Chains A and B, each alone.
Chain A
Amino acid sequence: MSTQPDKGRRAFLGTAAGAAALTTVAPGVFLHATANAAPRADAVTDQVRWGMLIDTSKCADGCSDCVSACDKENGLDLMIKPEGATDEQWAQQKPRWIRSVTIKDNLTDRVTTLPMMCQHCEHPPCVDVCPTGASFRRDDGIVMVDRHTCIGCRYCMMACPYKARSFIHENIQLKETAAPRGKGCVESCNFCVHRLDDGGTTTACQDACEHEAIVFGDLKDPGSAVAQALQSYDSVQIRADLKLNTGVRYTKI
């Protein structure tokens, strides 16, 4: 449709405008100005495996800093109870990525508090059962839901041994840019993948825990804090008998 009398001039202007536009627009794409803010340009590989060690002896009873931090980071605190729902209903239907669980030993009455979230298994049952493959394990060990493909069948929620997944039961008005969320799909803790993909190395819950109960990092890097902690402390997987090789380990349960 357009005639181009002077292709050379147009091409130059186009490139210049494009470069100028890119320089103007690009910073808006970088949402987290962390110290090594460099959005990933190459695909993730299995050279890295993200994992966590939770020292339950450091987890304080009654503290929910990790929960609040996760809610804020991932837009869960933006969710509002639908008009007409009861408080009880809302409590049972609203999503939760991390939660605090307190357990008492049946024999010794010893009480332990710990945060529970998606365990990012190496052999996740949720990935096995998802009919469309929306629930998947990324090469770097993060187990998450591709919500473009999720049809909301909730089979993964049935299958998860840790009750880690949540279903979105209502229309969402307010969303975080880094944490899109919509009615009818399933989601769970994704180790703050938006941070990791933007060059970060910490999760919101880890940063928030003042008691340093949560240590997060690359399990395959022998120099990382989490790898070294796993070497020093005796740790267990929750429901180890299922042999899922979880990425999240706990000490002193």
Chain B
Amino acid sequence: MKKMHFREWGIESTRYWGLLAVLAGLAAVAGIAVLYMEHEGHWVTGMNNQVVWGLPHVFAIFLIVAASGALNVASIGSVFGKKMYKPLAPLSALLAVSLLIGGLLVLVLDLGQPTRLIVAMTKYNFKSIFAWNIYLYVGFLVIVVAYLWTMLDRKVNKYTKTAGTIAFVWRLILTTGTGSIFGFLVARQGYDAAIMAPMFIIMSFAYGLAFYLLVLMYAFKADGRELGDAILFRLKNLLGVFVAAVFYFTVVYHLTNLYGTENHAYEAFILLNGGIYTFLFWGGWMLMGLLLPMGILYHPGLGKTRGGIVAASLMVLLGGMSAIYVIVIGGQAFPMAMFPGQTIIASGFFDGVNGQIASYSPSLPELLLGIGGVAVVLIMTFIAIRMLRFLPESLADDVADPHHVKG
């Protein structure tokens, strides 16, 4: 394998600044939406006392989960010693950082009292997984930046494996923490399941890698750099494996729920008669997020085309958003079982009268905030790859593939 050179992203200036301008515009609009929500109060959103976490949280959790998974590619290189992945590592670590910052930004800007962030940083209740998450998230940023440094600075290259291992273990804990936000809630039938933590981990693998693939392919294409089949197909096969694993966990989660009679109502809600939630589960989570991508990625013909891989990655991401939407919002919309064996026929506080689910419709400010978060992720990524040497000059087969045979 030839020596790998890294170079700044070289697309034409006008295109680069145009891209940044569009993204900055989206971020600015999100900023205005945040000011509006903070000034008026959350009454301007679709959230209420029944569904307290809405679209911003769906975006935030999705970005945070993808962040931890985006580091996978680097981990495979550093921790598991696969040389072929090493040139891919810097971009992977960069994406992990920018995705996490974008996700945290959206989360924090939706707080009822975002000006009290100092309070959140100084007063901790360590029984709360949220409090642990603050440390886990910030620690992750610090560790990944250190990890990146070991990758980019020749003098500290020898610490890459150590840094990579720490980062790998840290993010498993982090994603377990994120899944446990829901897994620890005894109150709601949709949560309170130990499987949520590992399911979130495996989802992070899939979403992070899909994001990585899309950014890599776009960045290389835009700059006319060659991305050889050897690397690309390795990554796409890996994505296929991760998506299959998510499928497995999804099936186990629902089958386990279906086994216990007490959860039948919730399963019927998700799988059969939950309206938008059922649609998003089957159409988004299962079909678009899992079955179609697996079909494409493992298809002997389609799976080897660039278009197919891009389409599959995009579908995984959109399916992932649907999955988080079903989990976060569906789990809240379903009424709590406060009186087993009885039906609530009247309530002064929307307790699920006659099984009616809580209503929630996403509002524009929430959507703008979420999109702004994604825009911030891309801004950070594009600026970084432009200013610093994150991207390898070429990932053509003869350069990147250690087993390449000329001819």
A and B touch in the complex (CB under 8 A): yes
> Using a CB–CB distance below 8 Å, which chain A residues touch chain B?
64, 67, 82, 84-85, 89-90, 92-96, 99-107, 111-112, 116, 125, 127-133, 149-155, 157-163, 165-171, 183-186, 238-239, 242, 253
How far, in angstroms, from A186 to B131 measured CA to CA in the complex?
18
Chain B hits for A130, CB < 8 A: 125, 128, 130
> Using a CB–CB distance below 8 Å, which chain B residues touch chain A?
40-44, 47-50, 52-53, 111-114, 116-117, 119-120, 123-125, 127-131, 133-134, 181, 184-188, 332, 336, 338-339, 341-351, 359
How far, in angstroms, from A127 to B128 measured CA to CA in the complex?
8
Sampled A-B contacts (29; CB under 8 Å): A67-B348, A82-B40, A84-B44, A92-B49, A106-B342, A106-B343, A116-B349, A125-B186, A127-B125, A129-B184, A130-B125, A131-B120, A131-B133, A132-B124, A132-B125, A133-B123, A149-B116, A149-B123, A151-B119, A154-B53, A157-B52, A158-B185, A163-B338, A168-B41, A170-B40, A183-B112, A186-B112, A238-B339, A239-B338
A163 touches B343 (CB 8 A): no
Task: List the 9 shortest-distance A-B pairs measured between CB atoms, nearest first.
Answer: A152-B112, A184-B112, A99-B348, A131-B130, A133-B125, A92-B48, A161-B187, A102-B346, A169-B43
How far, in angstroms, from A64 to B349 measured CA to CA in the complex?
13
A151 touches B129 (CB 8 A): no
Chain B hits for A167, CB < 8 A: 42, 47, 49, 52, 112
Contact of B124 among A133, A158, A253 (CB under 8 A): A133
Contact of B351 among A85, A163, A170, A242 (CB under 8 A): A163
Known: A149-B119, A158-B187, A160-B187. A101 touches B48 (CB 8 A): no
Closest to A102 in B: B346
Chain A hits for B114, CB < 8 A: 151
How far, in angstroms, from A27 to B222 measured CA to CA in the complex?
75
A155 touches B130 (CB 8 A): yes
A100 touches B348 (CB 8 A): yes
How far, in angstroms, from A127 to B129 measured CA to CA in the complex?
12
Q: Taking the nearest CB of chain B, how far is it from the CB of A131, in angstroms?
A: 4
A183 touches B339 (CB 8 A): no
B186 touches A93 (CB 8 A): no
A159 touches B185 (CB 8 A): yes
Closest to B42 in A: A169
Chain A hits for B42, CB < 8 A: 93, 167, 169-170, 184
How far, in angstroms, from A130 to B125 measured CA to CA in the complex?
7
How far, in angstroms, from A174 to B50 measured CA to CA in the complex?
25
Contact of B131 among A131, A149, A160, A171 (CB under 8 A): A131
